[in-house]
Structure 1
């Protein structure tokens, strides 16, 4: 299912996803001739996606740990399908770009938020102690970037999209590179060199 020349990319995706959530699942979805999209839900409550060159007849969902194990040892028996574990809708294909942000700026936003969390956890807020989970949720919901889409509509990018992109190492290493802000309907996303993170303003109970 995973050709040899795509195993490194699949392994990187499944490994980082597993480090953030040991029980994570990966959805593999055909995305056109010779292309397959990998999808996972991050603890930041955003979707992560990466596209690889491969062929797949239909959707399949697997435990990220099982996928990693088969990449290391292709002789293992096929993993148990976990299709019923996938509960999240997916954004439409080819969501249009709105604006490009310098990679260094995006990485700086992620690091500043992490430093704020460490400081607030140690010193409290307004001289009052605050639980780390409350602080983390507040920081993830904080609007890190606002860009203007066609027609003048503002697109607010919360810190959780930024954190997801950077923690999955999707932003890439090029100092002169860009992270693309994308938006369509209720969906907004950040696309880097190696993948994208996505969030919908509503969460309908349906599958894509």
Structure 2
């Protein structure tokens, strides 16, 4: 049986807010929880925008890498008052996405959060004008590059879908003047860290295997 343990109520509340956002975006969302040696838990969800979202909180999880239902986890966090929580049944087979590496990230640049928030707001307005037959914006719009960040010998293109994921997960905060968003990358991955969490996506599409 999996188990979560928190020593600080605020950390449990932070995880609850993250999971609530994920379930609001995707009712059947699953959450992958991975423990670190430094007493932290990385929580991961796959958003409907084909972008991963993550938040790190202080705590412990057993087993060290487990996937559970977002709804079950959210209910457990809301109901249980104990330090130790049963997050629900193990659903490891329902996790479909590869996770990025923990190391070898290069910080490309830091941007004012208001710039990113304004771009996301303009993108949402554009999406409303170009909704597809199923009430979702077309992939061609989501894949449009809305910002290119250059630094440390890297040019990183940020597609609109990343900003949609950040907005949907509530990561952008209030966009105050001193709030920053950090862009980092590896050869294969892009990561955008904001006040309340981060989004991660492959920088290049995987090539299909030849058969």
Q: Which TM-score bucket, shorter chain as reference?
A: 0.7 to 0.9
Aligned to 2:94: 85
Structure 2: stretches of 5+ with no match in the other structure: none
Q: Secondary structure at 1:145's aligned position in 2?
A: strand
Q: Which has the higher strand share?
A: 2
Residue 196 (structure 1) aligned with residue 202 (structure 2): no
Bigger helix share: 1
Q: Which runs of 4+ in 1 moved over 6 A?
A: none
* Equivalent pair of 1:27/1:61 in contact (CA under 8 Å): yes
CA apart distance, 1:167:
1.4
- The 1-side partners of 2:33 and 2:16 are apart by 13
| Alignment correspondent of 1:53 | 58
Q: What is the CA-CA distance between 1:147 and the residue it aligns to?
A: 1.3
Q: Which runs of 5+ in 1 are unaligned?
A: 122-129
Q: Distance in 1 between matches of 2:86 and 2:11?
A: 20
Conserved in 1, the CA contact under 8 Å of 2:162 and 2:199? Answer: yes
Q: Distance in 2 between matches of 1:111 and 1:186?
A: 27
Q: Which residue of 2 aligns with 1:101?
A: 111
Q: TM-score, normalised by structure 2?
A: 0.84
**Structure 2 matches for 1:18-57, cutoff 5 A?**
18-57=23-62
Q: Is the 8 A contact 2:12 2:77 kept in 1?
A: yes
CA contact (8 A) 1:25 1:61 kept: yes
CA–CA distance in structure 1, aligned partners of residues 207 and 72 of structure 2: 29
In 2, the alpha carbon distance for the partners of 1:8 and 1:134 equals 31
Decide whether the 8 Å contact of 1:171 with 1:191 is kept in 2. no
Contact 1:162/1:190, CA 8 A, preserved across alignment: no
| Aligned counterpart for 1:139 among listed residues 138, 141, 144 | 141
Q: Is the 8 A contact 1:33 1:55 kept in 2?
A: no
Equivalences, count: 196
